[in-house]
Structure 1
Amino acid sequence: MNEPLQPSRRILLKSAAATTAALAVGSAASPALAAAQAPAVAAAPGGFPDYRYVKTLLTPSQLKYNPTGEIIFPCIRGTKDRLSAPLGRYYLYYAPHDAPGGICLAYGDHIEGPFTEYPRNPIVSNNWAPHYSVSHVSSPHVMWNESAKEMWLYFHGENTTTRLARSKDGINFTYDKVVLTASMLPAGTTETSYARVFPHELPAKKAHYVMLFMLNNKSNHRDIHWGWSADGRNWTFDQKALVSHNDVSAVNVGGPHLLTRNGSAYVVYNKDKQSGGDLMITEVGKDFTLRRHLGRFYDSSDSAPDNGRSAAPSFGTEGGVPYMVYEAGERLKGSIAVARG
């Protein structure tokens, strides 16, 4: 059953056009979905519309694979014209975080659900001989790689290491390599995790992809960092923060996602609950040289399912309708929810 829209939601910046071709997970909407589109709302500054909470998609207690009673970091991807004989039009990747974690999959025919849990989760575990054996794997981000015609999965385990695996069907993955470790960043770095990768042209750097991720260091304050790559496998990383927690008056920031609009690029990310628990947005410009902090992107509701915290957004469109799938609720106590623009 759909839960009621919550008018308290306020978005300062976002639009359907913000999703790049790599993020577009669209297929033609059914008449029922078209009829259920959100009521018109006034555009926010920059031409971005509002987003409204629609429903909860996944809760740990309803999942067969539920080793720790928590799930995080959703990633929604469309399968139409990409995969042959997919289980559904949309694949929703997610994971528990705490040991043993495990990269998981649910599938459905609409971004608003319902989603069915893949019966053989996890599709990637914390032991993958001979490549690694770690306490946990988590934070799945899947990018459709158009040139390879593959789903590329970036995930962490341990928190110091991000790895890449590749798949033709979005379910069965082949291990590729380590793409990010704490040793690639400044001395004192203790975590480099929660990475998302996007096609994005940076001609001056001869790069076709950018990576956004969270960095922690001995100060125990988390920032957003970034890197660039020509092939999505071999990376160069900026040694300075893209968005520092100090820039936006937060204790920690994380869960970054790239959006583009009108020739510019934006990073959406979450503040920790101690700093308000909302999603924020910073314009970084097409070449990532701009740092314009635009404030709140999504105002987390104090009521369920947000309970004062929204995080790790993933974006897509269906039938021209923009959606945000996100982590709702206190960290390691929440669910996966969807909002509609």
Structure 2
Amino acid sequence: MQEPQSGPDRRMFLRATAATGAALTLGGLSTQSASAVAPGGFPDYTYVRTLLTPSQLKYNPTGEIIFPTVRGVYDKLASPLGRYYLYYAPHDAPGGICLAYGNSLEGPFTEYPANPIVSNKWDSHYSVSHVSSPHVLWKEDVKEFWLYFHGENTTTRLARSKDGIHFTYDKVVLNTSMMPAGTTETSYARVFRHDLPERGASYVMLFMTNNTTDHRDIGWGWSADARTWTFAQTPLVRHSDVGAINVGGPHLLTRNGSAYVVYNKDKTSGGDIMITEVGKDFSLRKHLGVFYDSRSSAPENGRAAAPSFGTDGGVPYMIYEAGERLKGAIAVARG
């Protein structure tokens, strides 16, 4: 049997040979594989099901949803709506930060009846065309859920909550004025607990940045408290580094003492999820290729993006955008 070089056929080949105990020849070396793996030794994720489809949602102002973030809340709240909270949003105006809840990462998830939980107008704090791209961090030291979201695309904001549903506005944490001249977008931010002792930091922010060339890159920053940030003035991953028109939707993963950034690579149509090793101290730039190869069939239709990760019963899962941008759904893959 000839080994496919990439894509779903390769993943099926690796699983089949592992199941039968067949020896694989990779790079001229013969090895016995226990299971298929992605670059960096991460699980090789396989699509399971679609979790949320816009047409089935009560709050559906624009017929599209993006940027899922999943959080286990069963060990953080006394009486949660479900074991897991799934945050997402439409992007186009008016957007709106939304919540669904469920007892398994494979679903089903139930739409929170009072969506959006954060809208594009908030008292005296802001009035913008849209809010979107929710990322929720559990802030252990204060026992709060910290929500990072954008609106407009120039500005990333922070809101805080004790229950993960009702949020209090805090502040702007990032906008284009904090980046080099010519920056036009600073959005789609995710924040992670990650120690950078040489920078006096305990948190890292990854985000999408754009400028007058209209090619999107991955930016990053660091913070001691996840509220006040210092931002690198050069991209962490440039679109040109990986042969893309745009890169975005970054997420931080760690394994075996190193750190990795996974992100979507958008071409003229569709795109896969890529991975770059940045090292524990973010000094490395090792582009490892495709992390998740999107399928040509529905719901992905050649595009996977904006991954969020969780573990349920010891099984790793990836929840992500599946399908053409602003026309897709939220799906789950299992590792």
TM over 0.5, shorter chain: yes
What 5-or-longer segments of structure 1 have no aligned partner? 1-5, 12-39
| Structure 1 partner of 2:244 | 250
Match of 1:300 among 294, 300, 306: 294
- 1:315 pairs, out of 294, 309, 330, with 309
Q: For the structure 1 residues 319 and 246, does the alpha-carbon distance in structure 2 shift closer, same or farther, using more than 3 Å as the test? A: same
Q: CA deviation at 1:81?
A: 1.6
- Answering whether residue 215 of structure 2 is matched by residue 218 of structure 1, we say no
Residues 265, 273 of structure 2: 8 Å contact kept = yes
Comparing 89-98 and 40-49, the one that deviates more = 40-49
Q: Residue in 1 aligned with 2:221?
A: 227
Cα distance in structure 2, aligned partners of 1:136 and 1:215: 18
| Residue in 2 that maps onto 1:200 | 194
SS at match of 1:247: helix
Cα distance in 2 for residues equivalent to 1:96 and 1:307? 19
CA distance in 2, matches of 1:196, 1:9: 31
Aligned partners of 1:9 and 1:304: how far apart in 2? 19
Residue 262 of structure 2 aligns with which residue?
Answer: 268
Contact 2:174 2:186 in 1 (8 A): yes
Contact 1:278 1:296 survives alignment (8 Å): yes
For residues 9 and 330 of structure 2, the distance between their equivalents in structure 1, rounded to whole angstroms, comes to 19
> Size of the alignment, in residue pairs?
308
Relative to 1, partners in 2 of residues 1:43 and 1:277: Cα closer, same or farther, differing over 3 Å? closer
Q: Percent identity?
A: 80
In structure 2, do the counterparts of structure 1 residues 262 and 194 end up closer, same or farther at CA, with 3 Å as the change threshold?
Answer: same
The CA deviation at 1:48 is 2.4
Give the equivalent residue in structure 2 for 1:35: none
Q: Give the TM-score taking structure 1 as reference length.
A: 0.88
State the TM-score, normalizing by the size of structure 2: 0.90
SS in structure 1 at match of 2:87: strand
Aligned residues of 1:249 and 1:275 also touching (Cα < 8 A): no
Measure, in 2, the Cα distance between the counterparts of 1:238 and 1:47: 28
Partner of 1:149: 143
Structure 1 moving runs of 4+ over 6 Å: none
Map of 1:30 onto structure 2: none
Q: From the superposition, tell whether residues 67 and 266 of structure 1 become closer, same or farther in structure 2 (CA, over 3 Å).
A: same
Q: Is the 8 A contact 2:64 2:326 kept in 1?
A: yes
Cα offset, 1:44, TM superposition:
4.4
The residue that corresponds to 1:23 in the other structure is: none
Secondary structure at 2:268's aligned position in 1? helix
C-alpha separation in 2, matches of 1:122 and 1:9: 41
**CA contact 2:149–2:157 (8 Å) conserved in 1:** yes
Instruction: Tell me how far apart the structure 2 counterparts of residues 326 and 177 of structure 1 sit (CA, whole Å).
Output: 27
Equivalent in the alignment of 1:33: none
* Highest RCO, 1 vs 2 (Cα 8 Å, sep ≥ 6): 1
Which amino acid is 2:58 matched to? K
Unaligned runs of 5+ in 2: 1-6, 13-33
Match in the other structure for 1:158 = 152
Question: Looking at CA atoms only, which structure, 1 or 2, has the larger radius of gyration?
Answer: 2
Task: Say whether residues 1:279 and 2:277 are aligned partners.
Answer: no
Partners of 2:96 and 2:118 within 8 A in 1: yes
Matched, 1:128 2:125: no
CA distance in 1, matches of 2:102, 2:38: 31
Please state how far the C-alpha of 1:219 moved relative to its aligned partner. 0.1
**Residues 158 and 249 from structure 1, CA distance in 2 versus in 1: closer, same or farther, beyond 3 angstroms?**
same
- Give the Cα separation in 2 of the matches to 1:211 and 1:225: 8
Shift of 1:10: 4.4
Letter of the 1:237 counterpart: F
Structure in which a larger fraction of residues adopt strand: 2
Q: What amino acid sits opposite 1:225 in the alignment?
A: G
Amino acid at match of 1:55: R
2:111 to 110, 113, 117: 117
Q: CA RMSD in A?
A: 1.4
Measured after TM superposition, the shift of residue 117 of structure 1 is 0.2
- Using the alignment, how far apart are the partners of 1:9 and 1:206 within structure 2? 43
Alignment partner, residue 24 of structure 1? none
Residue 55 of structure 2 is matched in structure 1 by 61
- Tell me the equivalent position of 1:85: 79
Match for residue 238 of structure 1?
A: 232
The residue number in structure 2 matching 1:336 is 330
**Deviation (angstroms), 1:50:** 1.2
Give distance in 1, aligned partners of 2:334 and 2:224. 33
Question: Residues 7 and 41 (structure 1 numbering): CA distance in 2 closer, same or farther, change over 3 Å?
Answer: farther
